[in-house]
Chains A and B, each alone.
Chain A
Amino acid sequence: SQQGEEDPQALSIQEGENATMNCSYKTSINNLQWYRQNSGRGLVHLILIRSNEREKHSGRLRVTLDTSKKSSSLLITASRAADTASYFCAPPNAGGTSYGKLTFGQGTILTVHP
Chain B
Amino acid sequence: EAQVTQNPRYLITVTGKKLTVTCSQNMNHEYMSWYRQDPGLGLRQIYYSMNVEVTDKGDVPEGYKVSRKEKRNFPLILESPSPNQTSLYFCASRSQGYGGELFFGEGSRLTVL
Give the B-binding residues of A (Cβ under 8 A).
Answer: 1, 29-31, 33, 35, 40-45, 48, 88, 90, 92-93, 99-107
- B60 smallest CB distance to A (angstroms): 12
Evaluate whether A40 and B109 lie within 8 angstroms (CB atoms) in the complex, with A45-B103, A105-B42 already known.
Answer: yes
Mask, B73-113, CB within 8 Å of A = 1, is 00000000000000010101000011111111111010000
Given contacts A40-B107, A103-B45, contact A45 B99 (CB under 8 A): no
Docked Cα-Cα span, A90 to B43, in Å, equals 11
Check A30 against B88 for contact (C-beta < 8 Å): no
Quote the shortest CB–CB distance from B87 to chain A (angstroms). 12
Binding site for A on B (CB under 8 A): 4, 35, 40, 42-43, 45, 48, 59, 88, 90, 92, 97-107, 109
Contact B97 A42 (CB under 8 A): no
- CA A31 – CA B98 in complex, angstroms? 9
10 contacts between A and B (CB under 8 A): A42-B105, A43-B90, A45-B101, A99-B98, A100-B100, A101-B45, A104-B35, A104-B42, A104-B43, A105-B42
Complex alpha-carbon distance, A43 and B33, angstroms: 13
Number of residue pairs spanning A and B whose beta carbons lie under 8 angstroms apart = 55
Nearest-CB distance from A57 to chain B (Å)?
17
The answer to whether B99 and A43 touch across the interface, beta carbons within 8 angstroms, is no
A112 to B101, CA, bound (A): 26
From known contacts A103-B45, A104-B42, A107-B42, infer whether A42 and B99 are also in contact, taking CB-CB under 8 Å.
Answer: no
- Given A40-B88, A101-B45, A107-B42, decide whether A33 and B98 contact each other with a Cβ distance below 8 A: no
A30-B42 contact in complex given A40-B109, A44-B104, C-beta closer than 8 Å: no
